[in-house]
Amino acid sequence: MARTPAASVPERVLDGQQAAAARLMRDLDDRVPEAIVALRELWPHTGRAYVIGLTGSPGSGKSTLCDGLIAWYRARGLRVGVVAVDPSSPFSGGAILGDRIRMQRHATDPGVFIRSLATRGHLGGLSRSSGDVVAVLDAMGYERILLETVGVGQDEVEVASLAHTSVVITVPGLGDDVQALKAGTLEIADLLVVNKADREGADRTVHDLESMLGLRQGQEPPPVFKTSASQGAGVAELGLALESRRERALGPDGEERRRRRSRVQLLDILRDRLTQETEARLASAGGIDALAVEIAARRIDPYAAAEKAMDALLAAPRSV
């Protein structure tokens, strides 16, 4: 009797097999070539999920709010994928799984898939493979994908390039934190949330945010919501606001933003591939580290070293 051929990785992922998806996500994070091939096969099956980015300063309660949104969406029968970006372990380089612990009550729910990723030195609050993992969850049929940044400060603006809707979270009582938001994350907010609103000063924080937003000219200010995620307060109102933006984000009105997302993703891939290729070309001459030694010793300046690296890259054709 003929043996039935084993299903390919993309087939198993499209079939909703979480173990296969988890292995593919790990391999994508490790840049395994076969994983890139599998992702390319999955790409035509993407583009249906609504991606929501959650960012804000450390201690703002992003993971607790994310947990509340998972429960809100699951109560409505929607499947939810979560990409939680954690700091890298200084020993293993892997993710410190704080976010997954806070969402533990959903661990056995087959309608929820939570993936923690390590930043691995990537700036902007995300991991280098965040977009790839979002694509896998999208192909699997998760209708809502929550993308939570690591919480490193006010420069976490990269989430806007991956999410259809960006939620910026702050809390009362952080002094100059609201003022600091103006320098970065405030500019990418589609919705603003003052979490832990049961604390003293919540109304003042809302007022300060609305006052700052009112100074922006030519832009419709994003709405500000108060939540107390640990108590479940305000989560439903936030969920309804997110859903009210979904049709616009995924419809014709969101086309320009989708093009920008695609452009950012393409540039990220090109930078990654060009860096790998340059390092491979320079390997015979001691690699990037050898050039770094020359720069540190003042025997060559950084610009000349960069030109040398570009010459090595362009010297001869090589399959990438």
Contacts by residues 317-320 (CB-CB < 8 Å, ≥ 24 positions apart): 318/277, 318/280, 318/281, 320/273, 320/277
* 85 neighbors 54 (Cβ within 8 angstroms): no
Going from N- to C-terminal start, the domains of the chain cover: 9-250, 263-314
Rg for the chain, CA atoms, rounded: 22
**DSSP helix/strand/coil, 106:** helix
Calpha distance 230→65 (Å, rounded): 8
Per-residue tens of pLDDT for the chain, all 320 residues: 444 466 899 999 999 999 999 999 999 988 899 999 999 999 999 999 999 999 887 778 888 899 999 999 999 999 999 998 865 443 344 444 445 555 677 878 889 999 988 765 444 434 668 889 999 999 999 999 999 986 644 445 667 778 899 998 888 876 555 554 555 567 778 899 999 888 888 888 888 888 877 766 667 788 999 998 888 899 999 999 999 999 888 888 788 888 888 888 888 888 888 888 888 888 877 888 888 999 999 999 999 999 988 888 887 555 44
Distance from chain centroid for Cα 180: 21
Question: Looking at residue 88, what is its pLDDT?
Answer: 43
Angle of helix 18-29 relative to helix 33-42, nearest 10 degrees?
120
Which pair of tokens denotes residue 246? 């979904």
Angle ∠(229,138,65) on CA atoms, nearest 5: 5
Topology of the domain comprising 9-250: Rossmann fold (3.40.50)
Block residue for tokens 């992003």: 62
Q: Is the pTM of this model over 0.95?
A: no
Question: Looking at residue 123, what is its pLDDT?
Answer: 42
